[in-house]
Structure 1
Amino acid sequence: MGKIIVLFGPSAAGKSEIQKNLSAMNFPKIITATTRQPREYEKDGVHYHFLDRKTFETYMEQQMFVEWTEYNNEWYGTLKSSVEEIIRGNSAGHIIMDLRGVQSLKEQFTNIVSVYIGANIESITRRLHDRNSPESEMNWRLNKALTDELSPSYQAHADYVIWNNDDTNIKDTLNKIYEIL
């Protein structure tokens, strides 16, 4: 029976980079659904399941999602079928979620391993700056990290805590996750 590695933590802690590396190591990524329009390079079923708003709302009514949230006037959610497919298999899948998503998955499934990926505020600030994030967005994300996501009470929801600061080699971080698998 497979298990799901759920990565969570502050913006710019390195979760997406870790996820990209796990996928390259042939650990399947759980594809989430969204109502937002695909970006030029994105493919349906690879980056997201792109759904129209009516279909997404129908899925919500039919309780087909493990969790869902609205962000920037668009819906995002994790289909139960996507999680169940990995669990029925014999490998470890991975997904990035917020804390609410982690809690929802753990309430509904037993094969869930939550991994908090943290970074110090200096690393987060530099990475957000390198992304050319608008200043208002950068300030919002930094404030959220400082007031919530870097707190011990937030990290306490994790089965494992891994720090991924600028001085951390991504291979070391991946090795720690591989040991969990």
Structure 2
Amino acid sequence: MQHLAGNLFIVSAPSGAGKSSLIQALLKRHSDMQVSVSHTTRAPRPGEQDGVHYHFISVAEFKALIAKDEFFEWAEVFGNYYGTSKSTIRDSLSRGIDVFLDIDWQGARQIKTQESSAKGIFILPPSLAELEQRLTKRGQDSNDVIAKRMAQAQSEMSHADEYEYLIINDNFDNALNEFERIVLAQRNSFGSQASKHQALLTQLLAKTAN
């Protein structure tokens, strides 16, 4: 498989751990990074825009895309479908843009079978009590849904050891700085730099003709 110029990051966390907020804050610092806009069949939440936060489509449309093998990964979560477009991501990576995938551990496994260079970052809350408090403060879900999300959170967190990096989001600014250091370090890894400067490396290592 061709090594792409941009880096692909898989970012996972239980709902309420601050994953989306951290990604958006990092994007404000770096214009050459972007988050993948997933397709979903769920209804938009207040303030969400089609094509910005998600591509909101019907179940029939989603299943048609599955049939065409248009997704890197897809999953059903709480009765709604979510999927990650292949063509959109590969186009961004080919242009040297770092892309973040906001997906769960199941999606991460599917992605890594197709893009082995992808790096996983898992974000944890400082405690279960803090996580429940954050979910309650959002005011978006009923008590029953919050209870389901808490149970799902523990299941999700049991897969944190499948990721290359781990961040504890206790203090947002500290977590953001740690997130940024991870991404910038990956940008400067040999694999990433060799891909971007392949012509120079070839020239420097070429034997001089006598």
TM-score range, shorter chain: 0.7 to 0.9
Once residues 74 and 149 of structure 1 are traced to their aligned partners in structure 2, the CA distance between those partners, rounded to angstroms, is: 17
Please state if 1:122 is matched with 2:129: yes
Residue equivalent to 1:137: 145
Once residues 48 and 18 of structure 2 are traced to their aligned partners in structure 1, the CA distance between those partners, rounded to angstroms, is: 20
Matches within 5 A, 1:24-39: 24-25=28-29, 26=31, 27-39=33-45
Q: Could you say if the C-alpha distance between residues 128 and 90 of structure 1 is closer, same or farther in structure 2, counting changes exceeding 3 Å?
A: same
Once residues 39 and 143 of structure 1 are traced to their aligned partners in structure 2, the CA distance between those partners, rounded to angstroms, is: 22
Residue equivalent to 2:190: none
Once residues 36 and 11 of structure 1 are traced to their aligned partners in structure 2, the CA distance between those partners, rounded to angstroms, is: 16
1:159 deviates by 0.5
Residue equivalent to 2:65: 59
Once residues 37 and 141 of structure 1 are traced to their aligned partners in structure 2, the CA distance between those partners, rounded to angstroms, is: 18
Residue pair 1:10, 1:150 contacting (<8 A) in 2 also: yes
| Identity level (%) | 28
Give CA-to-partner distance per residue, 1:95-153, whole Å, 9 cap, x none: 2111011111111113311001001212201101211231111111222223x2333xx
Q: Could you say if the C-alpha distance between residues 21 and 38 of structure 1 is closer, same or farther in structure 2, counting changes exceeding 3 Å?
A: same
More helix by share: 2
Once residues 125 and 58 of structure 1 are traced to their aligned partners in structure 2, the CA distance between those partners, rounded to angstroms, is: 37
Please state if 1:150 is matched with 2:157: yes
Matches within 5 A, 1:6-155: 6-25=10-29, 26=31, 27-39=33-45, 41-119=47-125, 120-132=127-139, 133-146=141-154, 148-151=155-158, 154-155=159-160
Aligned partner (choices 173, 176, 181) of residue 174 of structure 1: 176
User: Which moved further from structure 2: 28-37 or 45-54?
Assistant: 45-54
Q: Could you say if the C-alpha distance between residues 142 and 41 of structure 1 is closer, same or farther in structure 2, counting changes exceeding 3 Å?
A: closer
Aligned pairs, number: 175
- Give the structure with higher Rg (CA): 2
Q: CA RMSD in A?
A: 1.8
Residue pair 1:2, 1:111 contacting (<8 A) in 2 also: no
1:65 deviates by 0.4
- Identify unmatched segments of 5+ residues in structure 2: 184-210
Residue pair 2:104, 2:156 contacting (<8 A) in 1 also: no
Once residues 8 and 50 of structure 2 are traced to their aligned partners in structure 1, the CA distance between those partners, rounded to angstroms, is: 22
Once residues 73 and 155 of structure 1 are traced to their aligned partners in structure 2, the CA distance between those partners, rounded to angstroms, is: 24
- Identify unmatched segments of 5+ residues in structure 1: none
TM-score (normalised: structure 1): 0.87
1:37 deviates by 3.9
Q: Could you say if the C-alpha distance between residues 130 and 40 of structure 1 is closer, same or farther in structure 2, counting changes exceeding 3 Å?
A: closer
